[in-house]
Each structure stands twice: as C-alpha cells, then as structure tokens.
Amino acid sequence: QQQVKQSPQSLIVQKGGIPIINCAYENTAFDYFPWYQQFPGKGPALLIAIRPDVSEKKEGRFTISFNKSAKQFSLHIMDSQPGDSATYFCAASRGSSNTGKLIFGQGTTLQVKP
C-alpha cells in the first residue's frame, strides 16, 4: 500500500513532442505529490508538486494532472527540448506529517531527440 507505480520505464520523443509520465498510488492518506528531475551524477531537483484539492497544476512547460478517484497523477512536458532529457521520478507522501517520508516511483528515463 506504500508503493507508487510509475510508467513507462523509458520514453523517447522528438523535440517539440509532449511526453507523458504516469504514476499510481494506493494509500489514500497521501496528500502531497511532487515530481523530481534528475540528471546523471546529480541529486533530484523538485520540478512541480500538487496536492489533492486541485486536478491540474501548471508551471512553465510542466503540467501535473491529478485524478483523485483513480489515485493517479501524471506529468506532461510541453514543447519538450533535448535539455529535458533526464530521469523523472514521481513521489507521494503524507506531507503534513512529522516525517514527510517520500515514496518514490521507479523512475522514467526520458530522451528528447533533436
């Protein structure tokens, strides 16, 4: 029940395309859903996050869609660029709890071809 399942494992798109990465969770106590971007040899960087009281959040070219009833959320990258090539992780947590432990998805390696 603590798992977050992420798909696909890898994704290749052409420049300008819209890659979509999906995540699903089981624990209805989760109330904070961030996405992280990680480049090789670096730590993850927070991209965008959403809480379950909204169904969509947009920041720049990144959009999170959230479906509370289906317990799913997804990341869309508009007008993708080669510089977006990285590994993306979704995560979930009980953000307001004292520990705030993040449960990470398995990761998606994105390649954006020029």
Partner 1 sequence: GAVVSQHPSRVICKSGTSVKIECRSLDFQATTMFWYRQFPKKSLMLMATSNEGSKATYEQGVEKDKFLINHASLTLSTLTVTSAHPEDSSFYICSARDGPGQPQHFGDGTRLSIL
Q: Phi and psi dihedrals of 46, rounded to 5?
A: -65, 125
Closest contact distance (angstroms) between CB of 81 and partner 1 is 22
Backbone CA torsion sign across 86, 1, 98, 63: positive
Among 21, 23, 92, 102, binds partner 1 (CB under 8 A): 102
Residues 89, 92, 110, 112: which binds partner 1 (CB under 8 A)?
89
Separation CA 104–CA 62 (nearest Å): 19
Number of residues that bind partner 1 (CB under 8 A): 24
Does residue 15 bind partner 1 (CB under 8 A)? no
Decide if 77 contacts 61 (C-beta within 8 A).
yes
Token readout for 63 is 């959009």
Q: Using the rule CB under 8 A, is 66 a contact of partner 1?
A: no
For 72, residues 6+ apart whose C-beta sits below 8 A from its C-beta are 22, 23, 24, 25, 66
Q: At closest approach, how far in Å is the CB of 16 from partner 1? A: 27
Of residues 16 through 35, those in contact with partner 1 by CB under 8 A are 32, 34
Indicate the DSSP class of residue 71. T
Stretch that binds partner 1, among 41-49, 56-64, 65-73, 78-86 (CB under 8 A): 41-49
Q: Which residues bind partner 1 (CB under 8 A)?
A: 32, 34, 36, 41-46, 49, 89, 95-102, 104-107, 109
